[in-house]
């Protein structure tokens, strides 16, 4: 499997400090991990997918396109994952998706890519570790900042269905009339997650655009103090004209600190 699937797990496995969320301390290495599944597969029938762990255990019900499961517990340790279109037998990951789950931590496993009507599927796993440590506190106060990360899981952000580099423009309040003159906050490659970004609590609009400035998707979100959120860019179908009409940003709640 690619190094991408393991890089976040390897990073947090090295962390030996405890962190606190609303439910109490996270003890690295203790107890089960938490895992949710996101379907970022574009197929002719917009098929749901099933993800299996260790060949047999289905992780929740079949997941509709551009949606995720809730977090569920999974045993700490190494697991092998398979992704299948609902009712099919072919493993879209090709039998090589393995990752180490660290007890007490949360993960999002995304199946990202395309299944054409004819031809070979191009679907790969992307494992994103949810940071279990709180954001920094507001200077001079006790409240936390909020934190977001952005995942580029949209194959048709590129007109060929092989993805594109996108930039995230984060502005306060409702959607701006234009992003002209606004500096991008994040740049995210296809099948990658951004670095985490801390923001004061408040209302923001996240605009994702290609390098040529063409807007692909836009979402206004409310971030409370201590909110940790993952924003996933997903394609709703095959298209040669990427736009907000065929892309969306899905907001996933990680933790509330």
Among 37-41, 111-115, 180-184, 245-249, name the one with the lowest average pLDDT: 180-184
Closest CA to 152 of 179, 123, 187, 183: 187
What pLDDT, on the 0 to 100 scale, is given for residue 177?
Answer: 85
Nearest-angstrom CA–CA distance, 42 and 50: 14
Among 11-15, 61-65, 119-123, name the one with the lowest average pLDDT: 11-15
Mean pLDDT of 21-39: 70
CB atoms within 10 A of CB 86: 14
What pTM did the predictor assign? 0.88
In this predicted model, what pLDDT tens digit does every residue of 100-135 receive, in sequence order?
A: 999 989 999 999 999 999 999 999 999 999 888 899
- Determine what percent of the chain is predicted with pLDDT higher than 70: 88
The per-residue pLDDT of the chain, averaged, comes to 88
| pLDDT reading at 181 higher than 80 | yes
Among all chains, which residue has been given the structure tokens 């690295």? 28
Mean pLDDT of 10-28: 37
What pLDDT, on the 0 to 100 scale, is given for residue 61?
Answer: 82
Closest CA to 126 of 16, 233, 239, 15: 233
What pLDDT, on the 0 to 100 scale, is given for residue 212?
Answer: 93
Q: In which band, very low, low, confident or very high, does the pLDDT at 8 lie, cut at 50, 70 and 90?
A: very low
What pLDDT, on the 0 to 100 scale, is given for residue 18?
Answer: 28
Mean pLDDT of 25-52: 86
| pLDDT reading at 19 higher than 60 | no
| pLDDT reading at 21 higher than 50 | no
CB atoms within 10 A of CB 1: 17
Nearest-angstrom CA–CA distance, 7 and 176: 35
The token pair that represents 39 in the structure block: 């379907």
Nearest-angstrom CA–CA distance, 2 and 229: 25
The 3 state secondary structure assigned to 202-237 is EEEEEEEEECCCCEEEEEEEEECCCEEEEEEEEECC
Mean pLDDT of 238-255: 97
192: CB partners within 8 A, 6+ apart: 4, 126, 151, 152
Nearest-angstrom CA–CA distance, 48 and 67: 9
Output the CA–CA distances (angstroms, integers) from residue 35 to 91, 158, 162, in the order listed.
19, 29, 26
Among 19-33, 67-81, 175-189, name the one with the lowest average pLDDT: 19-33
Nearest-angstrom CA–CA distance, 65 and 45: 10
| pLDDT reading at 15 higher than 60 | no
If you write DSSP's letter for every residue of 91-139 in order, what string do you get? -TTTT-EEEEEPTT-EEEEEEEEE--SSS--EEEEEEEEEP-SPPPBPT
Which one is the CATH code of 3-130: 3.30.9, 2.60.40, 1.10.287, 1.10.150? 2.60.40
Nearest-angstrom CA–CA distance, 4 and 128: 9
Task: Give start-end residues of each CATH 2.60.40.2890 domain in the chain.
Answer: 146-256
Find which of 42-56, 88-102, 145-159 is predicted with most confidence, using mean pLDDT.
145-159
- Cβ atoms of 198 and 228 within 8 Å: the answer is no
Among 89-93, 100-104, 161-165, 187-191, name the one with the lowest average pLDDT: 100-104
What pLDDT, on the 0 to 100 scale, is given for residue 28?
Answer: 55
Query: Span 146-256: which CATH code?
Result: 2.60.40.2890
Per DSSP, 155 falls in state G
């Amino acid at each position: 499997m690619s190094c991408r699937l393991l890089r976040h797990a390897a990073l947090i496995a090295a962390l030996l400090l405890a962190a606190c969320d609303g439910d109490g301390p996270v003890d690295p290495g203790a107890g089960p991990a938490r895992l949710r599944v996101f379907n970022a597969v574009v197929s002719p029938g917009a098929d749901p997918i099933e993800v299996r762990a260790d060949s047999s255990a289905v992780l929740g019900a079949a997941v509709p396109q551009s949606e995720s499961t809730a977090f569920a517990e999974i045993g700490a340790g190494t697991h092998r994952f398979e992704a299948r279109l609902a009712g099919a037998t072919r493993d879209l990951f090709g039998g090589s998706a393995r990752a180490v789950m660290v007890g007490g931590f949360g993960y999002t496993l995304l199946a990202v890519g395309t299944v054409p009507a004819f031809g070979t599927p191009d679907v790969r796993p992307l494992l994103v570790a949810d940071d279990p440590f709180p954001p920094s506190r507001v200077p001079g106060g006790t409240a936390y900042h909020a934190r977001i990360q952005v995942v580029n899981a949209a194959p048709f952000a590129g007109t060929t269905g092989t993805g594109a580099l996108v930039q995230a423009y984060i502005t306060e309040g409702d959607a701006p009339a234009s992003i002209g003159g606004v500096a991008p906050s994040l740049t995210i490659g296809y099948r990658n997650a951004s670095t985490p970004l801390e923001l004061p609590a408040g209302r923001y609009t996240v605009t994702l655009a290609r390098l040529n400035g063409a807007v692909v998707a836009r979402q206004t979100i409310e971030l409370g103090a201590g909110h940790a959120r993952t924003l996933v860019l997903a394609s709703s179908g095959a298209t040669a004209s990427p736009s907000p009409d065929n892309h969306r940003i899905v907001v996933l709640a990680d933790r509330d600190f």
